Amino acid sequence: MEFHLVDGGEGDGGHATPDGTRLEDLAPEPLLTRDYETRPELVYERLRERHGPVAPVDLLGVPAWLVLGYRESLQILQDDAAWPKGLENWRARSEGRVPADWPLGPSLEVNHVLIQGGPGYRSLRGAWDMALRPFQDPRNPQAKQLRAAVTGYADELITLLAQGGRTGVADLSAQFSRPLPLMAASHLLGFPGSQGDDALMDMWRVLDAGPDAEPALERLLVTLTELAAAKTEKPGDDFPSHLLAAHPDLSVDALARELFMLLGMVSDHVGILISNTVVEVIAGESDGGVRTALSAGMIRETMNRVVMRKPPLVNFVPRFAAEDSPLGNHTIRAGDPVWVSAAAAHADPLFATRTTSGADVSTRAHLSWGAGPRQCPARELASSIASAGVRRVFERFGHLELALPVDQLPWRSSPFMRGLRSLPVRYELVGPVPQLAPPSVPDVPDASHASDALDAPAVADRQSARRRSSLWRYLTGLIRSNT
C-alpha cells in the first residue's frame, strides 16, 4: 500500500494523512456516539483536526466519508454528475458488504426523490417543482388557503394548550411545533377527515423510532397507499393530485413513497425550525437582534439565521463518487459513500469566521437547504408554514420564557437530523382563555384572508373530525392544569 504525506494547509488540521488507503481499510471511528448526541460540534471539530475536511467514519457498522469542509461540501453538491445519489452506485452495497439489518437501511432503501439517482430522477424532481408551485407562490389561492389553514391550526393548538390556564407551563414542542406541521401536511396531502390525523400520529411514532415505530410505519404506508389510490381515482386540489398531474406515469406505490417523504420532511424539519426560532427569540441568543427583527415583521430573516446556525438536516443522505476523486486529504474511490454534513461545514472556519464577521460571505451562502441542482425544492413552503406558526405564537402569548436554561434543553439526534426533544416554557396568554369552539362553529380566525378559498362548513367538519382523532386525544392528554 502506498502512503504519501499531505501538506497541512488551512482547515485541513495540518496532519500528515495516509492517502490512497481504501475506506474499508481505515477502521474509522463511530460517529454516532454519546458525544454526537450531546455535543456534536466537538465531534466535528475532533474529526476535522484529525483528518482535515473529509473524515472516514463508521455509521453503525458501515464505513462512510463525512464531508466537514464548506468548500468540499459545495464542490460535491454542485456537481451531481461527479457525486450522484442512488444506492445502486454504492460499491460496498453491490458487493454485499452492507448488512441486511443495518439500522439505517430502512430510511435509505425507500426509493423516493430525496434518495434517488439515475434516469428517472430528473422528471420526478421536475414534477415536484410543479406540484409544489401552487402552494409556494404566495399569489396563488392554494398558498393563501394553506397559510390561512396553518394560522387556524396554530390557534386551535394554542387554545387547546391554554385550557390548563391563562398562565402556565407547556411543552411547546409536543403541544405546538410538532403537531402544527403535521396538520399542515395533512392539509397538503388532502386527507379526508380525521384519517389524516391518525396517520400523523403514526408518522410521529415512526420519527421517534420507539418500540411502536414498526407497526406504525406499516399502518402509515397502507394509509398513504390508500390515499394515493384515492387521488389517482379522483384528483383534487392537493399535492398528490398536482404531483400526479405533473407526472402521470407515477404508480400508486411510487406516489405513496413520495407522500411518505413529504410527510416526513414537513413534520420533522418544519417542527424543528419552529422550535429553534422560538428559542432564538425568547432566549435572545441572537444578541437581541431577533426581537427587533420580529417586531419589524422580519420573521423570515430571523429564520434564515436560525436555519443557518442550527440546520434541521445536519447530514445529508449519501452521494457516491462516480470515479476515484481526490477530496480533502484523501482519495475517494468510485462507489464510496460521502455524507455532506451541513452542521460541520457551517463550523468550518472558512465559513464560520466569514459569516460572523459579516464580511464577504453572505449568510445566504449556508447549506441548510442544500445547494446545487438537488437543493430543497420546498424552502418557501417550509418557511411559510413555520413563519405563520411562529407569528401566531408571539401574537397570542404576551409573555413566553424558557422553563429551563437554554443550555439544558434536551436535544434529539439521528444521523440525519437534530432538533429539540422538548421545549418547556412558561407562558402568559394575551387576554382570557378562549373556550374551544363547539365543533359545529368554525374557529379559524384568519379564514377571512382566504374567505373565497375556505368554506366554513368544511372547516367545521374537519375540526369536528379532528376532535375525535387520536392526535387530538393525545394533545388533550398533554394539557397541564395550572389551577
Nearest-approach distance from CB 85 to ligand HEM, in angstroms? 7
Helix (H, G, I), strand (E, B), or coil: what is residue 6? coil
CB atoms within 10 A of CB 30: 11
- Nearest distance in Å: CB 473, ligand HEM: 26
**Which residue carries 395533512 as its cell?**
186
Nearer to ligand HEM, 182 or 460 (CB): 182
Minimum distance of ligand HEM from residue 182's CB (angstroms):
11
Calculate the alpha carbon distances from 377 to 89, 228, 290, 355 in Å: 24, 21, 26, 24
CB closer to ligand HEM out of 176 and 369: 369
Of 333 and 346, nearer to ligand HEM (C-beta) is 346
The number of beta carbons lying within 10 Å of the beta carbon of residue 394 is: 18
CB of 277 to ligand HEM, least distance (A): 10
CB of 295 to ligand HEM, least distance (A): 23
Please report how close the Cβ of residue 334 comes to ligand HEM at its closest, in angstroms. 20
- Closest to ligand HEM by CB, 180 vs 265, is 265
Cβ atoms of 70 and 348 closer than 8 Å: yes
- Do 328 and 69 touch, CB atoms closer than 8 A? yes
Stated as kind and residue range, the H or E segment containing 171 is strand 167-171
Q: Least separation, in Å, of the C-beta of 440 and ligand HEM?
A: 32
**Contacts to ligand HEM by CB under 6 A:** 77, 113-114, 125, 128, 262, 265-266, 269-270, 273, 307, 312-313, 316-317, 368-370, 374, 376-378, 381-382
Q: Return the C-alpha cell found at 334.
A: 468510485
Cβ closer to ligand HEM: 131 or 459?
A: 131
Question: What region does 246 belong to: left with phi over 0, alpha with psi -120 to 50, or beta?
Answer: alpha
| DSSP codes joined into one string, 410-433 | -EEE-SSBEEES--EEEEEESSSP
Distance from C-alpha of 358 to C-alpha of 140, rounded to nearest angstrom? 36
In whole angstroms, how close is the CB of 262 to ligand HEM at the nearest point?
Answer: 5
Whose Cβ is closer to ligand HEM: residue 84's or residue 164's? Answer: 84
Taking the least distance from each CB to ligand HEM, the nearer of 299 and 465 is: 299
CA dist 213 → 104, 209, 222, 362 (Å): 14, 5, 14, 41
The residues, any chain, with a CB within 8 Å of residue 20's CB and separated by 6 or more, are: 1, 2, 3, 4, 331
Q: Which is nearer to ligand HEM, 164 or 196 (CB)?
A: 196
The per-residue b/e assignment along 169-187, b for 16 or more CB within 10 angstroms, e otherwise, is ebbbbbbbbbbbbbbbbbb
Q: Specify burial of residue 360 (Cβ count, 10 A radius: 0-12, 13-18, 19+).
A: exposed
Compute the least distance from the CB of residue 376 to ligand HEM, in Å.
Answer: 3
Amino acid at 244: L
Q: In the bound complex, what is the minimum distance in angstroms from residue 345's beta carbon to ligand HEM? A: 11
**CA–CA distance, 127 with 121 (Å, rounded to integer):** 10
CB of 419 to ligand HEM, least distance (A): 10
Judging by beta carbons within 10 Å of its beta carbon (0-12, 13-18, 19+), is residue 91 exposed, middle or buried? middle
Q: Which CB atom, from 227 or from 262, has the smaller least distance to ligand HEM?
A: 262
Query: Residue 227 and residue 258: Cα distance in Å, rounded?
Result: 12
Residue number, 125 or 467, with CB nearest to ligand HEM: 125
Cβ proximity to ligand HEM, 180 vs 382, nearer residue: 382
